[in-house]
Amino acid sequence: MSIEISPAWWTSAVVYQIYPRSFADSTGTGIGDLGGIRGKLDYLQQLGVDVVWLSPIYRSPQADNGYDISDYQDIDPLFGSLEEFDLLLAEAHARGIKIVMDLVVNHTSDEHAWFEESRSSLASPKRDWYIWRDGDGVDGHEPNPWRSMFGGPAWQLDAVTGQYYLHLFAAKQPDLNWENPEVRVAVYTMMNWWLDRGVDGFRMDVINLIAKVQSDLVGDSPGYVMGDQVHDYLQEMNREVFAGRDADLITVGETPGATVDDAIQFTSSDRLELDMVFQFEHVGLDHGPRTKFDNVPLKLVDLKRSLGRWQSGLADAGWNSLYFSNHDQPRSVSRFSDDGEFRYESATMLAAILHLHRGTPYVYQGDEIGMTNAGLTTIEQYQDIESLNYYAEEVAAGASPAAVLASLAFRSRDNARTPMQWDATPLAGFTTGTPWLEITPNHSTINVATDRAAGPRSIFEFYRRLIALRHESTVVSLGVFEMLEAEHPTLYAFTRTLGEETLLVVGNFSGVPSELPLAVAGELVIGNLVIGNYGEVPDIAGALLPWEVRVVRLR
Ligand code: TEU
């Protein structure tokens, strides 16, 4: 007798990421807030998303826009209060939208009470909650040569005790010591507190970095930090936090550097760790060898090879999360396609390609109206700590400011963090105050109101249809993925098959018509159009038009 196991709900769900400080400001501070989000719940319901992931809203000195938390069990006054959060949760739930919190537990803020206690003396009961070492007496005296992801050494000398603490990110983000069971209990207790309050899951910031390779913490080994204990910790977390209520939750781990094999371990359902992870391979393909700011052109065959490997690697063994953008990445329409003449076609083609892979798609706020990179030209316009540190380091090392600014204009995280463009009015309907980061001037034409009035050329409407398609169609949520034409330089083509049903998806990653290989062309003629960004095209067999995408049902 075979037992039917029904697929997890998040296989047919779509997640929408909100970067709260840039979404909607209800108080005129120039910074988005919870009231602003509440005011846009109808908008999100119209789009049809199932889950909203909120980037951090906890109390924080905001050294890294909230990814530096000083109190895990409070809301930063910039964004509102716990009472307001409860309202948001209730109003989202009433619309069938789940709320996922960002869980940042690789590190805290240096202003968290735990760290203040830890740094106070060698004998502090919380000394061992963070990672303290003596200097090694050579070079810069840091315990080892690890570099912070935001530039400079990953170790900060603390005058109080003369020891160094580890910070993989900014000096204001000291790393917690997960080896210490008290730390783990404190984190699990906090997570349970949020779940008891009604939240529906967690997006876990750099969760693969919590387990340091202890032998690397001394000496000068290159030390990429993903110790095997990470799996023990996540299984323990699962037992202590998710057990008994995991069927309704969603957990996604952010795992820079994770391989397909790592991801299988994190997401295979029998291991009881995470539902899915954000892998980074495909968003590193256009990085130069030295830093992510060395921009190299992306080859479509590389993107297909990478995403194709993840599709086949996790097919029966795990689950993918699907993303082209988030608050750390450039805007996808500017990065991968044409954000000018063919912006509508580009944005919708990218969306269709992404959403029709097997996995859970993530929509980053503004992508659903085709928002573009920011176009910043002076360093004074930037706010992001990573961008500012990079600029200072490079210019100090002799680079030309103009060249560094050109790299930032393409790659900086601020490209995705500009305020949401709601309408064409001077402050884009985002705020009545002074926006914390400049509003992109193109908001006069690229905004929600204009897009939604665009009838058949509304990007929002295209997203809405893609999301609805995932809800209605099990071939979209569960179908087997097969890449076609892997070596074709401009076409991205694949099928999804479940039982008797097959969908064919073909996108043109170029601004000129792409001739179709015969096999694909023949199939396109036979199939019925499910969704496309040029409407019903008469010349369906010949070529794909610039940035065109067609999805057809073959059987
Ligand atoms: O990001 C971790 C990460 O590895 C990168 O994406 C990082 O943001 C950076 O771009 C490296 O060049 C997470 C958060 O998403 C990010 O916003 C935080 O700054 C970071 O962790 C620290 O919490």
Q: 112-143, pLDDT tens digit by residue?
A: 999 999 999 999 999 999 999 999 877 668 98
Residue position matching structure tokens 């700011």: 293
Q: Is the per-residue pLDDT at 73 higher than 80?
A: yes
Mean pLDDT of 100-122: 98
Residue 536's pLDDT is 72
**Beta bridge partner(s), residue 53:** 17, 100
Q: Is the per-residue pLDDT at 541 higher than 70?
A: no
Distance, CA 211 to ligand 1 centroid (Å)? 17
CB-based burial label for 95 (10 Å; 0-12, 13-18, 19+)? exposed
Amino acid identity of residue 528, one-letter, is N
Question: How far is Cα 270 from Cα 324, in angstroms, rounded to an integer?
Answer: 28
Amino acid identity of residue 327, one-letter, is H
Q: Structure tokens of 483?
A: 């890449």
User: In this structure, how many other beta carbons lie within 10 angstroms of the beta carbon of residue 234?
Assistant: 24
Pick left, alpha or beta for residue 257 (phi over 0 → left; psi -120 to 50 → alpha; otherwise beta): left
User: In this structure, how many other beta carbons lie within 10 angstroms of the beta carbon of residue 7?
Assistant: 11
Pocket of ligand 1 (CB under 6 A): 64, 67, 104, 149, 169, 205-206, 254, 256, 292, 327-328, 386, 413
How far separated are the first and last CA of the chain, in Å rounded? 30
Average of per-residue pLDDT values in the chain: 94
Residue 520's pLDDT is 79
Q: How confident is the model at residue 426 (pLDDT cuts 50, 70, 90)?
A: very high
Residue 1's pLDDT is 46
Position with higher pLDDT, 398 vs 2:
398
Residue 219's pLDDT is 58
Question: How far is Cα 304 from Cα 162, in angstroms, rounded to an integer?
Answer: 50
Mean pLDDT of 204-211: 95
What's the chain's length in residues?
A: 555
Q: Is the per-residue pLDDT at 512 higher than 50?
A: yes
**Domains (ranges, CATH) in the chain?**
9-106+181-374+441-459 (3.20.20.80), 479-553 (2.60.40.1180)
Question: How far is Cα 372 from Cα 440, in angstroms, rounded to an integer?
Answer: 8
Helices then strands (H, E): number in the chain? Answer: 16, 20
pTM for the full predicted model: 0.97
- Nearest CA to 45 among 101, 91, 8, 102? 91
Residue 526's pLDDT is 72
Q: Is the per-residue pLDDT at 474 higher than 90?
A: yes
Amino acid identity of residue 50, one-letter, is D
Sign for the CA dihedral angle at 435, 438, 440, 441 comes to positive
Check if the beta carbon of residue 347 is closer than 8 Å to that of residue 367: yes
Residue 538's pLDDT is 57
Residue nearest to atom 9 of ligand 1 (CA): 328
What share of the chain has pLDDT > 70, as a percent?
Answer: 96
Q: What angle (nearest 5°) sits at the alpha carbon of residue 61, between those of residues 57 and 63?
A: 95
What are the two backbone dihedrals, phi and then psi, of residue 51, each rounded to the nearest 5 degrees?
-140, 140
Residue nearest to atom 20 of ligand 1 (CA): 67
Question: How far is Cα 318 from Cα 255, in angstroms, rounded to an integer?
Answer: 15
Residue 4's pLDDT is 59
Q: Is the per-residue pLDDT at 217 higher than 70?
A: no
Mean pLDDT of 100-105: 98
Question: How far is Cα 426 from Cα 434, in angstroms, rounded to an integer?
Answer: 11
Cβ-based neighbours of 340, under 8 Å, separated by 6 or more: none
Q: Is the per-residue pLDDT at 537 higher than 80?
A: no
Amino acid identity of residue 464, one-letter, is R
Mean pLDDT of 178-207: 98
Looking from the CA of residue 256, the nearest atom of ligand 1 is 4
Check if the beta carbon of residue 298 is closer than 8 Å to that of residue 336: yes
By 3-state DSSP, what share of the chain in percent is helix, strand and coil, each rounded to 5?
35, 15, 45
> What residues are annotated to the active site?
205, 254
CA-based max dimension of the chain: 77
Distance, CA 309 to ligand 1 centroid (Å)? 24
CB-based burial label for 251 (10 Å; 0-12, 13-18, 19+)? buried
pLDDT in tens, 331-348: 999 999 999 999 999 999
Residue position matching structure tokens 């961008």: 387
The three-state secondary structure class of 286 is coil
Q: Is the per-residue pLDDT at 287 higher than 50?
A: yes
Residue 324's pLDDT is 98
User: In this structure, how many other beta carbons lie within 10 angstroms of the beta carbon of residue 296?
Assistant: 10
Ligand 1 binding pocket mutation candidate from 106, 108, 206 (most atoms within 8 A of CB): 206
- Nearest CA to 95 among 55, 57, 48? 48
